Amino acid sequence: MRFIPFTALLVGSWLALPAAAAEAQNWLQRLADAERSQSFQGTFVYERNGSFSTHRIWHRVEEGGGVHERLLQLDGPAQEVVRVNGQAQCVSGSLSDQVIDGQAWPARELNAAQLAEWYELRVIGESRVAGRKAVVLGLLPRDQHRYGIELHLDEASGLPLKSLLINDKGQLLERFQFTELDVAVAPEPDALQPTASCRPVRITEASSTVAGNWRSDWLPPGFELRTISQRQSPASDESVACLVYDDGLARFSVFLEPLHGITVEDARTQLGPTVAVSRRLKTDDGDVMVTVVGEIPLGTAERVALSMRTNGTEVQAVQ
């Protein structure tokens, strides 16, 4: 079968394709298993908003099942992250600002059957990436609250060789693509050691007060609260609460910062697939800036921001 461009599926008749949801689920399960059991190393390119960067990855599965991983950007600003069992141990460069204190960067625990509730799953063709044969999967969202995904999975290992994130207009938002992948030789332990500029990630547990105070009155179908943490605000001495939600594939974070009389403006921005929406909410305890950041459509992020509530007090958006 020849590869069918995913953008054609978004504007054409998806249901006209042969039913292959079960096969697609099997491939997704194979992907989840491969990332937990297969050591590999390679080089990939990342594209977002027309900007390209090149990265090296070392992924080693230790005896006993532990996973040690290191990512290093090879061009542009120096950026690095080292993770053990999905949790960031150290970061450098602008990645430092994206790591929430105490928030694990979990290895993606794909649940194919669950994802089928929120995405239409199909095997849509074959391709060749980094000199390797691949099976192409399409994940078409069943609603307007998440993006479509095209996955090219290595036939031999099940690892992702290429992924495309696409909006409802068929526009490419993000590309990840290996240019070289080695699954035959596990990375040496020395290759997984961070450089001196890699800053340790400080673990901060969220207090029970923060955990119990905030909730969302509305979430996109399938999204659930996964983690709650706290971090120091980059602009003040305030402790900022962070709630992380996902649907098993897409993820967004909600930051909540007390303003204590400071005047700030609402904002909304988008860079590639990543949106950031900030809304000032009035509560009985004072104004709070709610910021939603993640790879979800802009309208969805705005609705989540306006739906945040704190238990026992009145909340309203500031006009």
- Secondary-structure class of domain 204-317 per CATH: alpha beta
Residue 4 binned pLDDT confidence (cut-offs 50, 70, 90)? very low
pTM: 0.84
Per-domain boundaries in the chain: 6-192, 204-317
Rounded to an integer, what distance in angstroms lies between the CA atom of residue 70 and that of residue 79? 11
Residue 226 binned pLDDT confidence (cut-offs 50, 70, 90)? confident
Q: What is the mean pLDDT of residues 60-81?
A: 90
Is 150 in contact with 47 (CB distance < 8 Å)?
no
Query: How many CA atoms lie within 13 Å of 154's alpha carbon, on the beta-carbon side?
Result: 23
In the CATH hierarchy, which fold is given to the domain comprising 6-192? outer membrane lipoprotein receptor (LolB), chain A (2.50.20)
For position 316, what pLDDT does the model report?
56
Among 264, 260, 244, smallest CA distance to 252 is for 244
pLDDT digit string, tens, across residues 182-212: 999 999 999 999 999 999 877 555 554 454 5
Is 152 in contact with 162 (CB distance < 8 Å)?
yes
- Residue 140, both tokens: 């078409």
Hey, what amino acid is at 105?
A: W
pLDDT digit string, tens, across residues 73-127: 999 888 999 999 888 889 987 655 454 433 333 445 678 888 999 999 999 999 9
